[in-house]
A and B are shown apart, each in its own frame.
Chain A
Amino acid sequence: MESNLAPAAAPSGEPHIRRLIVIWVVLSAIGVALVVFALGPHMPPWTFSDEARDQRNINIMLAALATPVLLAVWMALLYSILAFRQGSGVAADGPPLHGGGRLEITWIVVTTLIVVALAVAGTAALFGTTKGAGGGQGPDPLAVPHGSQPPLQVQVIGQQWAWTFRYPAYGGVETTQIAIPAGRVIELHVTSLDVNHSFWAIRLAVKADAIPGTDNVAFVRPRKPGTFKIRCAELCGLWHGHMFTTGLVLTPAAFASWIRRQVVANAAATKTLPPYATHYFPEPLRRAG
């Protein structure tokens, strides 16, 4: 049976390619500028902490690099639909392409450079500037900040269905709200008393799993006073959707005053708590377990 998809004669592609490149360069310049200067400042997780700022900058870089690629694909599709539309008559296949080694090498080199650059930028954020980029690093973190002031340790305890917080530097006092001072590195120790939870403070750019029997360490340095929402990001039972609270970033003086009030207000409760530990395996219960 004879095919009616006979190869068509190869048209000269030079004017099309030149036109495509010009359009792509112009659109990419506009698109990248819009992404960096218009969309970028509004990208989550914003700039409330050093980690948030780094994550946002990487998001901007990713979006800026993806924009020309996206435009190239869309533009090629749209241009082909408009310029190479098959008219009425016999459907003809396009001419076969051979060679193009220079284009292939260019393509491979450019994409490799993009991926390597992203890997370097991501690794720099993980190990260089923000020490873990706000993610839980497990009990033995690889990226640890070294500064003149030691980090403030705050333990985050997940339980069905509430968050509580302990401050080992202040007698191990436990509170129902978290407050942290601006401008200081905070060392979060995230754990759970029952099932898996996940401590997610999006404005701080912190997300760390809370796992029973495990100490999950994350670092963050809030930049200015304000509030931040905390949610559980791990489906953890009936009231998972209600497992949220609001945290505070205070000036150092306001934090000192706040923690003093907490120590006094929770003095009786503190006496009943077990000694501070990096995790608390659920105690055997008389009835359950």
Chain B
Amino acid sequence: MLAVAGATAVAVVLVALYVADFLAANPTPLRAAPAPRGAQLTLQTVASYGHDPHPDWVSYLARDASGAWHHTTIFKVPAHALVRVTVYQYDTATGLRNPFWSQVRGTVGSTMTVNGRTLHALPPDDASHTFAIPELGVSVPLKGVGDNAPNQCSVAPCTLAQAHTTVTFTFRTGNPGRFRWQCFVPCAAAFVFGNGGPMQSIGWMDGYVQVV
């Protein structure tokens, strides 16, 4: 009887540790910087993170209000506000599997700016990634840097001195909630059809937008 109770207790502890480890595996949320009528979210995408545990995985990073970059894909933004997003895009183009996602959707004016130029869409082959929040109807294709661009970045965080495109857009939030976001470009190098590894992992090419 004592042995059964002991084994049960050990099993419960192991399950609890597993669950705790799973919950703690998510990256720390980053609060978007305050901005007039809303918040400013500043991100960068890199072709290879450059650090353990997956130095060759493609990833997003986010910048806090002090200017420091963090390896996280969970963002807190205010409810009923305008969220202005700036993405410094350091990766080269992979191309969209479904060209439908080449249109800008769900942003204010259904537009974005790419290096200061206002656009409604990208040529599908020019997309390196997308920033999409399907439940909010937001989907923005991100233009890749040229394959032969000089001074390409290979270790995060990248700097503005390195080859990049700058993409900006603004979307409006509604009621509080947690909404997943993802990339629609199959951009995971060395995985079958580009959809494994970082494309399946929160903290890399997927995450949550927490509207609070």
Contact = CB atoms under 8 A, between A and B. Distances in A.
Given A194-B186, A238-B206, A239-B206, A289 B192 contact: yes
B92 to A, nearest CB: 8
Nearest to B99: A272
B189 A157 contact: no
Contacts of A164: 98, 100
Nearest to B135: A242
A174 B134 CA distance: 16
Nearest to A283: B97
A176 B137 CA distance: 9
A269 B187 CA distance: 21
B120 A268 contact: yes
A153 interface: no
Contacts of B193: 194-195, 282, 285, 288-289
A176 B98 CA distance: 12
B39 interface: no
A287 B94 contact: yes
A95 interface: no
Contact of B191 (A176, A193, A242, A288): A288
Contacts of B93: 286
Q: How large is the interface on A (under 10, 10 to 19, 20 to 34, 35 or more residues)?
A: 20 to 34
Contacts of A237: 195, 199-200
Contacts of B99: 269, 272-274
Interface in A249-289: 266, 268-269, 272-274, 282-283, 285-289
B171 interface: no
A239 B190 contact: no
B98 to A, nearest CB: 6
B188 A288 contact: yes
Contacts of A238: 182, 199-202, 206
B177 interface: no
A272 B134 CA distance: 20
Contacts of B195: 160, 194-195, 237, 288
B184 interface: yes
Interface in B5-19: none
Interface string B193-212: 11100011110001000000
Interface in A219-261: 237-239, 242
B143 to A, nearest CB: 14
B113 interface: no
Given A242-B135, A268-B120, A283-B95, A288 B100 contact: no
A242 to B, nearest CB: 5
Contact of B103 (A269, A282, A283): A269
Interface in B38-87: none
B164 to A, nearest CB: 17
A65 interface: no
A288 B57 CA distance: 12
Contacts of B134: 161-162, 242
Contacts of B187: 287-288
Nearest to B47: A287
A159 B97 contact: yes
A289 B97 CA distance: 11
A285 B127 CA distance: 12
Interface of B: 92-95, 97-100, 102-103, 120-121, 123-124, 134-135, 137, 180, 182, 184, 186-195, 199-202, 206
Smallest CB-CB A-B distances: 4 pairs? A288-B194, A272-B99, A238-B200, A269-B103
Given A239-B180, A274-B99, 13 more contacts: A160-B182, A164-B100, A193-B97, A195-B195, A238-B201, A269-B99, A269-B103, A273-B100, A283-B97, A285-B95, A285-B186, A288-B188, A288-B189
